[in-house]
Amino acid sequence: MELTNYLGLAAVLFAVGAATVLLRRNAIVVFMGVELMLNATNLAFVTFARIHGDVTGQVLAFFVMVVAAAEVVVGLAIIVMIFRARRSASVDDVNLLQS
Amino acid sequence: MNDFVAPTIDWAAVSPVLVVLGAGVLGVLLEAFVPARARRTTQITLTLAALVASLVAVGLLWERVSEGAVSVVGGSYLLTPFGLGIQAVIAISALLGVLVIADRTTTGQDSFAPAAAAVPGTTYEDEARRAGLQQTEIYPLLLFSTGGMLLFPATDDLIVMFVALEVLSLPLYVLCATARRRRLLSQEAAFKYFVLGAFASALFVFGVALVYGFAGTVRLQGVVQVLADPGTSPLGTMRGLVVVGLLLVLSGLLFKIGAAPFHTWTPDVYQGAPTPITGFMAACTKTAAVGALVRVLFTLAHGLDADTRHDVQVALWVVAILTMVIGSVVGAVQTDVKRLLAYSSIAHAGFVLVGVVGLDEVGSSAVVFYLLAYGLATIGAFAVVTLVRERTVSSDDRAGALGDTTDDGVVLGEATALAQWAGLGRRAPWLTAAFSLFLLSMAGIPLTAGFIAKFGVFSAAVEAGAWPLALLGVLGSAVSVFFYVRIIVFMVLTPPSDDEPGAVVEAAEDAGSVTGPAGGAPALTGTATRAVVARTVVTVVGSRGPAAVAIALCAVGVLLLGILPAGALDLAGQAAQFRP
């Protein structure tokens, strides 16, 4: 069934996003990794909706989009604030809290 | 053709959440329309009123819900006795937390930056401080966060749970960044919390997607039905989907609880965030997340076959043991009071999970009581931390004048280094007594709430056949008793180190050095860092009322639950039922 290919793609995108969050050093890129994970979830939702033949999954994808948008607002604000205070958006420089 | 049929909504059942979220929206409007000087009082009044109203609503619903769960819009909002019990604990903790947040102390300054968006060390920041600006937006943010927390354990719908998770998290990320002092640490805490929190949310929602794929629904009851009868869903035979999905959902929840191996954010965020916010966050977020965990886990465990259920329990065992060990052992070597309390909260997450492993009603009742006991002690302890401050040494200041809060030195941020707490008992006997009481409760000493709470979760574990886990829990408690008592001895018996001003300089510089950013330059202002302060001593500032009330209420609560637990245990017993 070719729909499983979409699920495979969703899983790969999710893994790429997770790897980005864990491995990359630039805060913006890390943040993009999170967004990639959320969008992979959306792909999985709509594919499953197609398999089940109902629209619930598509509606859920909208919920995830709205939440992702809200997260962008707060997240970018925090990253910009950090950048303005330190002139750097590298997650490695954010290390004052290690005792 | 398709006439729209409006759903009938049982507004009374939703009222505890609705009151709080509604007051949050009203608070945003107040920001725009109320004149600046009246804003703070209005916001605080509104916030406290909303939380009290929410608590009253929970009380009014109690009778009705204990006769049978109330389901609104097909389970999108599901009020089980357990969910209502958790809401009661959250409302009480939030009320006490807001009292601490509202306190300006005798210095006349609260814990929040006059203009949180200003870059630390700029003239804009200085001007904002001189103009006496205040960030009253924190109160609506607190209400939104509390609303999310109240919704979190009271739904049967995983996507509503996800939305609630974000509604509770997003305001907290912002609140973490608003500290008046040590602003770089505060911003860093917000950043770490945000990145890791967003990551955990993404795991959670991908888990929800897999569960949806399995069952064709995100209602937990529906998933249980498909588990019982796989033929009703096209993918109903692919049990792997629901197991992986459940694990991802649990990861997201365990992150919010701060259980190992998802605990690494906890010490950093708890240390960097403004202390009153830390207390609020530590108590309320953990309560809400444990409530949601119990809701998901206990409901789904009902539908899983014995083998899978056993696997899930083993996973919980591992997490609980790891969490207790890391919390107790790493906590024992901390030198910063806030970090120490953070590790103690990690250890408590482990103890709560011990009560959860049985996946039955004995456990859920023990969990409600534990969360209440933990919430009271935690908010009280962080409230005490907000009052122990550093003060610059004025010209005529000699060792004899130490502890005199009317002195002319400038009061700075909190003295969080443990070394600075030596001999606190002589400066502030009542505060020290209260702090000791909270620590003893956290350690689980008899006649405090912590003892009854720990007894409850451990006996629930024994009843569920998890006695090795209960044994490890008792051992873990014993280790933590050691480090709690060490602090008490330190506060009461050790003479204050700053009788010798030289010793204090070192402590202050030690703390100051971590506030400078990699670039160095912008941090050198009074609000951003303490590095400019050459010599500081420890002082105890007075509360302007609210925080003192909160500390007193927490202390009374801890003692009352410890000495006369019968009433609260009865209520917790009524709140045991987690199934509709």
- Digit-coded pLDDT (tens) for B512-539: 333 433 333 333 334 434 444 456 777 7
Report d(CA B468, CA B62) in Å as an integer.
Answer: 36
Chain A residues within an 8 Å CB radius of B163 = 63, 67
Q: Which of B100-109, B140-149, B267-276, B532-541 has the lowest mean pLDDT?
A: B532-541
Domain of residue A20, residue span = 3-86
Half-sphere exposure of B503 (CA within 13 A, CB side): 13
- Let me know: does B296 contact B251? Beta carbons within 8 Å: no
Chain A: closest CA distance from residue B216 (Å): 6
**Shortest CA distance to B216 belongs to which of A11, A42, A51, A5?**
A51
* pLDDT tier, B400 (very low <50, low <70, confident <90, very high otherwise): very low
B248: tokens are 């991802």
Report d(CA B11, CA B217) in Å as an integer.
Answer: 25
Nearest chain A residue to B205, by CA: A41
Q: Is the ipTM of this complex over 0.90?
A: yes
Q: What is the CATH number of the domain that holds A29?
A: 1.10.287.3510
* Residue B568 confidence (pLDDT): 85
Task: Identify whether A45 is part of a domain.
Answer: yes
* A19 at interface of B, judged by CB pairs closer than 8 A: no
Mind spelling out the 3-state secondary structure of B387-406? HEEEEECCCCCCHHHCCCCC
Mind spelling out the 3-state secondary structure of B307-371? HHHHHHHHHHHHHHHHHHHHHHHHHCCCCEHHHHHHHHHHHHHHHHHHHHCCCCHHHHHHHHHHH
Report d(CA B51, CA B95) in Å as an integer.
Answer: 6
Chain A: closest CA distance from residue B429 (Å): 29
Identity of the residue in B201, B216, B336 whose CB atom sits nearest the CB atom of A52: B216
Residue, of B277 and B571, whose pLDDT is higher: B277
Q: How many CB pairs under 8 A join A and B?
A: 145
Write the single-letter amino acid at B218: V
Stretch B328-342: mean pLDDT:
89
* Residue B347 confidence (pLDDT): 93
Nearest chain A residue to B524, by CA: A85
Task: Identify whether A41 is part of a domain.
Answer: yes
Stretch B234-243: mean pLDDT:
85
Residues B173-226: tens digit of each pLDDT: 999 999 888 888 899 899 999 999 999 999 999 999 999 999 999 999 999 999
**Shortest CA distance to B152 belongs to which of B204, B229, B222, B100?**
B204
* Residue B497 confidence (pLDDT): 63
B477: tokens are 């408690």
Q: From residue A62, give the alpha-carbon distance in Å to each of A12, A74, B457.
A: 21, 19, 40
∠ Cα B512 B125 B525 (to 5°): 25
**Shortest CA distance to B245 belongs to which of B151, B168, B312, B148?**
B312
Report d(CA B345, CA B216) in Å as an integer.
Answer: 37
Stretch B88-98: mean pLDDT:
95
Q: Tell me the three state secondary structure of residue B512.
A: helix
Report d(CA B7, CA B9) in Å as an integer.
Answer: 6
Residue, of B500 and B269, whose pLDDT is higher: B269
Task: Identify whether A57 is part of a domain.
Answer: yes
* A77 at interface of B, judged by CB pairs closer than 8 A: yes
- Let me know: does B514 contact A96? Beta carbons within 8 Å: yes
**Chain centroid to CA B223: how far?**
30
Q: Which of A30-34, B371-375, B566-570 has the lowest mean pLDDT?
A: B566-570
DSSP for B278-316, written as a single string = HHHHHHHHHHHHHHHHHHHHHHHHHHS-HHHHHHHHHHH
pLDDT tops 70 at residue B504 = no
Report d(CA B376, CA B90) in Å as an integer.
Answer: 11
Nearest chain B residue to A38, by CA: B202
Task: Identify whether A46 is part of a domain.
Answer: yes
Identity of the residue in B119, B188, B212 whose CB atom sits nearest the CB atom of A97: B188
∠ Cα B12 B140 B35 (to 5°): 120
Report d(CA B109, CA B104) in Å as an integer.
Answer: 5
Stretch B51-68: mean pLDDT:
92
Report d(CA B32, CA B195) in Å as an integer.
Answer: 31
B35: tokens are 């004149």
Nearest chain B residue to A51, by CA: B234
Whether B192 and A38 lie within 8 Å, measured CB to CB? no
Stretch B475-496: mean pLDDT:
86
B454: tokens are 């720990």
Report d(CA B32, CA B21) in Å as an integer.
Answer: 18
Chain B residues within an 8 Å CB radius of A44 = 206, 209-210, 213
Identity of the residue in B194, B206, B522 whose CB atom sits nearest the CB atom of A78: B194
B38 Cβ neighbours under 8 A, 6+ residues apart: none
Q: From residue B412, give the alpha-carbon distance in Å to each of A60, B109, B204.
A: 48, 10, 41
* A88 at interface of B, judged by CB pairs closer than 8 A: yes
* Residue B84 confidence (pLDDT): 93
Chain A residues within an 8 Å CB radius of B199 = 18, 21, 34, 37
* Residue B394 confidence (pLDDT): 61
DSSP for B193-227, written as a single string = HHHHHHHHHHHHHHHHHHHHHHHS--BHHHHHHHH
Identity of the residue in A44, A70, A84 whose CB atom sits nearest the CB atom of B209: A44
Whether B233 and A51 lie within 8 Å, measured CB to CB? no
Task: Write b or e for each residue in A10-44: b if 16 or more Cβ atoms lie within 10 A of its Cβ, otherwise e.
Answer: beebbeebbebbeebeebeebbebbbbbbbbbbbb
Residue of B176, B212, B510 best to disrupt the A interface, most CBs of A under 10 A = B212
* A13 at interface of B, judged by CB pairs closer than 8 A: no
Report d(CA B146, CA B95) in Å as an integer.
Answer: 10
Nearest chain B residue to A26, by CA: B195
- Assign residue B221 a region (left: φ > 0; alpha: ψ between -120 and 50; beta: otherwise): alpha
Task: Identify whether A97 is part of a domain.
Answer: no
pTM for this prediction: 0.90
Nearest chain A residue to B121, by CA: A85
Which residue stretches of B103-182 are H helix?
Answer: 123-130, 138-151, 158-176
Stretch B254-263: mean pLDDT:
91
Whether B166 and A71 lie within 8 Å, measured CB to CB? yes
B556: tokens are 């009374």
* A92 at interface of B, judged by CB pairs closer than 8 A: no
Whether A81 and B166 lie within 8 Å, measured CB to CB? no
Whether A96 and B184 lie within 8 Å, measured CB to CB? yes
Note the maximum CA span of chain A.
54
Report d(CA B386, CA B487) in Å as an integer.
Answer: 17
Whether A7 and B187 lie within 8 Å, measured CB to CB? no
pLDDT tops 70 at residue B498 = no
Task: Identify whether A72 is part of a domain.
Answer: yes
Report d(CA B563, CA B511) in Å as an integer.
Answer: 40
Whether B195 and A31 lie within 8 Å, measured CB to CB? yes
Measure the N-to-C terminal CA separation of chain A; round to a whole number of Å: 53
Whether B119 and A85 lie within 8 Å, measured CB to CB? yes
Chain A: closest CA distance from residue B405 (Å): 30
Measure the N-to-C terminal CA separation of chain B; round to a whole number of Å: 36
Q: Which of residues 20-39 of A touch B (CB under 8 A)?
A: 21, 27, 30-31, 34, 37-38
Show me where the domains of chain B are located: 11-516+523-574
- Counting as low any pLDDT under 50, the low residues of chain A are none
Length of chain B: 580
Stretch B560-580: mean pLDDT:
83
Whether B515 and A96 lie within 8 Å, measured CB to CB? yes
**Chain centroid to CA B373: how far?**
13
Task: Identify whether A76 is part of a domain.
Answer: yes
∠ Cα B24 B28 B34 (to 5°): 120
B59: tokens are 């009380």
Q: From residue B237, give the alpha-carbon distance in Å to each of B187, B253, B475.
A: 47, 26, 43
Chain B residues within an 8 Å CB radius of A45 = 209, 212
Length of chain A: 99
Q: What is the DSSP letter of B575?
A: T
A71: tokens are 């997260």
Residue of A38, A97, A99 best to disrupt the B interface, most CBs of B under 10 A = A97
Report d(CA B238, CA B147) in Å as an integer.
Answer: 36
* Residue A1 confidence (pLDDT): 61
Stretch B445-470: mean pLDDT:
90
* Residue A98 confidence (pLDDT): 65
Task: Identify whether A91 is part of a domain.
Answer: no
Q: What is the DSSP letter of B420?
A: G
∠ Cα B292 B296 B297 (to 5°): 115
Chain A residues within an 8 Å CB radius of B267 = 97, 99
| Beta-sheet pairing, B536-540 with B388-392 | antiparallel
Whether A67 and B339 lie within 8 Å, measured CB to CB? no
Q: From residue B460, give the alpha-carbon distance in Å to each of A49, B305, B358, B470, B474.
A: 41, 22, 7, 9, 13
Chain A residues within an 8 Å CB radius of B268 = 97-98
Average of per-residue pLDDT values in chain B: 85
Report d(CA B574, CA B580) in Å as an integer.
Answer: 14
Number of structural domains chain A divides into: 1
* Residue B367 confidence (pLDDT): 93
* A60 at interface of B, judged by CB pairs closer than 8 A: yes
Q: Residue written as tokens 């009603």?
A: B361
Q: Which of B336-350, B385-399, B470-484, B497-511 has the lowest mean pLDDT?
A: B497-511
Nearest chain A residue to B333, by CA: A99
Report d(CA B531, CA B177) in Å as an integer.
Answer: 20
Write the single-letter amino acid at B159: I
Nearest chain B residue to A84, by CA: B119
